[in-house]
Amino acid sequence: MGEYRIALIPGDGIGPEVAAPAIDVLNAVGKKFGHGFTFTALAAGGAAIDRYGEPLPSGVLEAAKDCGALLLGAVGGPKWDTLPGDKRPERALLALRKGLGVFANLRPAALLPQLRDACPLKEAVLAPAPPVNSTAGRANSPPAKDPPQGTAGAAAGFDLLIVRELTGGLYFGDRGRSAGGDSAFDTERYSRREIERVLRVGFEAALRRRRKVTVVDKANVLETSRLWREVAQDTMKDYPGVATDFLYVDNAAMQLISCPGQFDVIITSNLFGDILSDEASVLTGSIGMLPSASLGAPSGKSTAVPAEDSGALPADTGMISGATERFGMYEPIHGSAPDIAGKDMANPLGMILSAAMMLRYSFGLEGEALAVEGAVRAVLDRGLRTPDIARWSGRAGQNRGAVGTREMGAAVVKALEEDADAAGSSAPQTLSPHG
């Protein structure tokens, strides 16, 4: 029984459409488990530009900080595309991430058995295969022989977690244009501390999964990547039970589509994580399926390096265990999808699963998170599909048996209310980065 305050930014395009069912699901969770969820609606992005003339009106950041978590649909759209860079809706996103200090973005991507048909890869590619082509990597030790319960493993296709650095790098570096506007620059800068704290989030996630980390960089060209590699080679010593290797980002992009089952946890920079997670999302069937959690340091806990390296596993920093309540920003990884906005076609499951991650990481409500994830599995088991994950017929663009955003959301609420076995489901694929 608890009272939880949630800042809500529905945003633009399909944002409000996918936010509505997520709110319904949270209210159903509240009713079922005896919690009270209070929503503070805030404007950011295009909607805020229209109403207040700026993408992140003053007071929004502080109002979000007053809540336990922030749930966000998506921002942006063609209507605001011609505005100067610092006035565009996406600036609100970057300012929120930076202002809230949410430096680690967790993006799980698993191939669910129910959506195997929606994966564009051939069955042969989904079969287990040995790791290939890592660069200058070194395994601390082989992956655990007995993966944690509920972990799918490579045999089922793939089940990976991308941990993306979120508040540094190219998206936050100096940028500009020459006086005439004919040349432009963006810069990437990373500090050892910024790299290490996100690496530790990834390594801790790996300890709860299949104990494998792949650090993705471009160390053959970029100085920032060389620093990433140095810091990773130091940090991995604190996680002797985790097999660690390194891939250049161009190779990683290829490996994701040629052998996705080799990956467990991928840790990478802001830019590379943005691109690779969109690629991974397509493999799951649709970008509309994928949730994300953006976390900062838990209050009162430090992610600093232990003073002495005893060779033992470092104490859990509480970043991903769900044992500590902490502020987080939760959003599906997709954008505002202007092409389908207002048509009741958007898949709300990525947003609903983001709400489940919020229950887990910000409110410590693991059972409730599992119940939501179980309800999503249940509706997929029953064959409900939004157009993006529906089986395609022979004619391109035509699909069969698809339901709309509202119907899909209502089905998840109903499954949660019925909840025959949602919390205790033994489905082989998990929907959370616990693996």
Residues that bind ligand NAD (CB under 6 A): 14, 18, 74-77, 90, 93, 286-288, 331, 334-340, 346-347, 350, 388
Annotated active-site residue 278? The verdict is: yes
Selected catalytic residue, list 274, 330, 361, 388 = 274
Extract the tokens encoding 49.
């530009």
Neighbours of 425 (CB within 10 A): 18
Dist CA 373 CA 34 (whole Å)? 18
DSSP state of 344: T
Helix (H, G, I), strand (E, B) or coil at 265: strand
At closest approach, how far in Å is the CB of 286 from ligand NAD? Answer: 6
CA dist list (Å): 419 to 258, 349, 400, 428: 37, 17, 27, 18
CA 1 from chain centre, in angstroms, equals: 27
Question: Is 339 in the active site?
Answer: no
- Annotate 246-279 with b (16+ C-beta within 10 A) or e (fewer): bbbbebbbebbeebbbbbbbbbbbbbbbbebbbe
**HEC string for 39-82:** EEECCCCHHHHHHHCCCCCCCHHHHHHCCCEEEEEECCCHHHCC
> Looking at beta carbons only, is 17 or 245 nearer to ligand NAD?
17
274 catalytic per annotation: yes
182 carries an active-site annotation: no
Q: Which residues fall within 8 angstroms of residue 374, CB to CB, at 6 or more apart?
A: 415, 419, 421, 422, 423, 424, 425, 427
User: Least distance from C-beta 405 to ligand NAD, angstroms?
Assistant: 8
CB of 364 to ligand NAD, least distance (A): 25
CB of 67 to ligand NAD, least distance (A): 19
Q: In angstroms, rounded to a whole number, what is the distance separating the alpha carbons of residues 200 and 163?
A: 10
Q: Which is nearer to ligand NAD, 110 or 227 (CB)?
A: 110
Least distance CB 348 / ligand NAD (angstroms): 7
150 within 8 A of 430, measured Cβ to Cβ: yes
Smallest gap, in angstroms, from Cβ of residue 302 to ligand NAD?
29
278 vs 316, which CB is nearer to ligand NAD? 278
For the purposes of burial, counting CB atoms within 10 Å of the CB of 312, is it exposed (0-12), middle (13-18) or buried (19 or more)?
Answer: exposed
Strand order in the sheet with 3-11: 36-41, 3-11, 69-74, 328-330, 293-295, 104-110, 159-165, 265-268, 212-217, 243-248, 138-139
For 304-418, where are the alpha helices, taking DSSP H only? Answer: 349-361, 366-381, 405-418
Query: Quick check: is 250 catalytic?
Result: yes
As measured in angstroms, the least distance from the Cβ of 80 to ligand NAD is 7
355 neighbors 122 (Cβ within 8 angstroms):
no
Choice among 86, 186, 250, 339 that is catalytic: 250
Residue 137 or 291: which CB sits closer to ligand NAD? 291
Task: For ligand NAD, give the closer residue by CB, 64 or 287.
Answer: 287
Nearest to 199 by CA among 171, 168, 154: 168
Catalytic residue among 218, 239, 245, 361: 218
Q: Which is nearer to ligand NAD, 96 or 232 (CB)?
A: 96
Given the residues 234, 278, 316, 344, the one annotated as active site: 278
**Catalytic residue annotation:** 171, 218, 250, 274, 278
